[in-house]
Structure 1
Amino acid sequence: MSREHEWIDEEAGPVVRPYAVARGRTRPSSPSLDLLANVSLTGLPVPAKAELSAQHRRLLACLSGRARPVAEAASELALPVGVVRVLLGDLLDHGLVAVRPPLTKGNSPTESLLREVINGLRAL
């Protein structure tokens, strides 16, 4: 049995605790990794000094193709958001991902516009 498969139970799924995936860390290296921040690949090659785990590589694969919010990436990987933020911090430190902050309040729709949309949908 390969080492990768010894941590998987057929019925329960992965049995590695989240803190083990994040190597015991609970905070990302960058405060810019908000739940709604968009993360995308930079296209740079993986540095030789980077020690990327299987979860780091899964995260890179998840981000290929388009930018995603942190929360969406966590959902797709079925990992806790805190763990994904730590992993993204590692990738950010290696220059493999870029982070864009979420839209500011000034760019978001107003309450009146949202109410008009809801009323329009109800009218259908």
Structure 2
Amino acid sequence: MAPDGREVSAGPRLVRPYALTSGRTESVVDLPIEATFEVLPSGRTATWPEGDLSGRIIELCTAKESVAEVSAKLHIPLGVARVLLGDLVTAGHLKTRTTISEYTTSDERRELIERTLSGLRAL
């Protein structure tokens, strides 16, 4: 109960999104929303505390999720996802994958666009 007599919720406390990035709003790595990732050996062998956001991001990236999909699935703003993903790339746990190149088939492009749209809709 609060000092003024109001009931206080015992539910989870909310953390401001940019507290997760220490107030940073831009990633040191340029990450388009459709960028996908490859988990590097250091990311696979790292020990993440239970519930740690970095560990959850690594798990999602093993399924080749895009920046937009990571943001949607973790319920964090796109800018926060970019900063956290950029941190993991800089730390050597993730590597960005080429999204579209001259060698990409039309089916691969269609799949990428559909996945990106799905992630954006989930935001």
TM-score w.r.t. structure 2 length? 0.63
Instruction: Please report how far the alpha carbon of residue 89 of structure 1 lies from its aligned counterpart in structure 2 after TM superposition.
Output: 0.8
Amino acid corresponding to residue 38 of structure 1 in structure 2: T
> How large is the Cα RMSD of the aligned pairs?
2.7
1:61 Cα deviation from its structure 2 partner: 2.1
Q: Tell me, which stretches of 5 or more residues in structure 1 are unaligned?
A: 1-8, 48-52, 110-124
Residue in structure 2 matched with residue 15 of structure 1 by the alignment: 14
Distance 1:104 1:14, change over 3 A: farther
Q: Cα offset for 1:46?
A: 3.7
1:68 counterpart letter in structure 2:
E
Q: What is the rounded CA distance, in whole Å, between the counterparts of 1:98 and 1:108 in structure 2?
A: 22
Instruction: Work out whether 1:95 is the aligned partner of 2:92.
Output: yes
In terms of Rg, which structure is larger?
Answer: 1
Summarize the alignment of residues 22-41 of structure 1 with structure 2, pairs less than 5 Å apart. Answer: 22-31=21-30, 33-41=31-39
User: How many residue pairs end up in the alignment?
Assistant: 93
Runs of 4+ in 1 over 4 A off after TM superposition: 104-109
Q: State the Cα distance separating 1:43 from its structure 2 match.
A: 2.1
Task: Letter of the 2:100 partner, please give it.
Answer: L
Give 5+ residue unaligned stretches, structure 2: 1-9, 107-123
State the partner residue of 2:83: 86
Deviations 1:21-80, CA, capped at 9 Å, x for gaps: 11110000111x110011121122449xxxxx922122112223x211110111111111
Corresponding residue for 1:3?
A: none
Secondary structure of the equivalent of 2:95? strand
CA distance in 2, matches of 1:71, 1:96: 19
Find the residue that maps to 2:41 and give its secondary structure. coil
Query: Normalising to structure 1: TM-score of the pair?
Result: 0.63
Measure the CA separation in 1 of the matches of 2:56 and 2:103: 34
Sequence identity percentage: 29
